[in-house]
Structure 1
Amino acid sequence: MSAADEIIDIVDAEDRVVRQATRGEAYAEGLRHRCAFVLVRDAEDRIFVHRRTATKAVFPSRHDMFVGGVVGAGESYDDAALREAEEELGVSGLPRPVRLFSFLYESGSEAVGQGWWSWVYEVRCVLPVSPQAEEIDWHAFLTEAELDRWLAESADGGGRRWTPDGVDAYARLKAARA
């Protein structure tokens, strides 16, 4: 089964399930769904940063500071966060990610429709990572200062292109910790 054929929950503006659809239908019709974002830190407190593969349906070839993805039909955000983190990092035995906050990501772009409800998590990974090649084509662990510098360079029109939902979630995380 391809990712486009996966069944996911479609939700309303209050994150209540209203029906199910395939991921492909949700993307094509711009249906609101659920996602889990996981900020991964290593033993030295550096943040896992990666570039998504060019084959990703949403935000291909963009950099991101979160791993994660779409929550499956009937799956909890917590279970999706752990599943997605282990899959994308290529590890098993991660501690359960810590739930931090939720928000409704709305881009206003027809490409992503009504957006998605997002729970943001954090987890420490002391295991050696072997990122999933189908999802990630480059990765590194950066200090928070390095990541902030990369984001500032991109905001000035140069540098890397980032996933807008990841940038939004990261800004909310930094504001919550300020």
Structure 2
Amino acid sequence: MGAQDEVLDVVDGEDRVVGRAARGEVYARGLRHRCVFVRVRDAQGRVFVHRRTGTKLVFPSMYDMFVGGVVGAGEAYDDAALREAEEELGVTGLPRPTYLFKFLYEGDGGQSWWSSVYEVRCEGPVSPQVEEVAWHAFLTDDEVEHRLTEWPWVPDGLAAYQRWKAIRPEGRG
């Protein structure tokens, strides 16, 4: 089964399940679904940043400061956050990501998904999926801020980042 065949819950404006469809159909028809975003920091507090591969269905070859992806049909946000973080980082045994907040992302062209945002610390080395990640590095908060105007970032990740910045306690990275 390919990524386009993965079955997702279709949800309404209140994040209630109203149906199910294959990912390819969800994207083609602009159906609202669920996603998770996980902000990953290493032992030194740096943020995992990566460039998506050119084969991604959404936002190919763009940079992201979160790992994550779609929530499968019947899957809980918390479970999807851990699964996606371990898959994309190529690690096992991560602590369960800490839930931060949820928002409805509404992008250009009718894109819309409920986005649950988390954070987790990854103490060991990473080995990102080559199908998902074309380049990666751990960057300081200042380095991320500096590159916001230099690199093409995924718009949903930027929306999550702006919300994260607005709610984080001062001095906490």
Q: Tell me the secondary structure at the aligned position of residue 86 of structure 1.
A: helix
Alpha-carbon distance in structure 2 between the residues aligned to 1:95 and 1:44: 17
Task: Provide the residue aligned with 1:167 in structure 2.
Answer: 158
Question: Where do residues 101-120 of structure 1 align in structure 2 (5 Å cutoff)?
Answer: 101-107=101-107, 109-110=108-109, 113-120=110-117
User: 1:127 deviation in Å?
Assistant: 1.4
Structure 2 residues not aligned, in runs of 5+: none
Question: Where do residues 1-178 of structure 1 align in structure 2 (5 Å cutoff)?
Answer: 1-107=1-107, 109-110=108-109, 113-151=110-148, 154=149, 159-177=150-168
Structure 1 residues not aligned, in runs of 5+: none
Q: What amino acid is the match of 1:46? A: R
TM-score by length of 1: 0.94
TM-score by length of 2: 0.96
Alpha-carbon distance in structure 1 between the residues aligned to 2:143 and 2:124: 22
Post-superposition CA distance 1:54-105 (Å, at most 9, x none) = 0000000000000000000000000000000000000000000000000000
Q: Tell me the secondary structure at the aligned position of residue 13 of structure 2.
A: coil
User: 1:114 deviation in Å?
Assistant: 3.9
Alpha-carbon distance in structure 1 between the residues aligned to 2:3 and 2:135: 21
Q: What amino acid is the match of 1:4? A: Q
Taking only the aligned residue pairs, the percentage that are identical comes to 69
Give the root-mean-square deviation of aligned CA atoms.
0.7
Alpha-carbon distance in structure 2 between the residues aligned to 1:17 and 1:80: 16
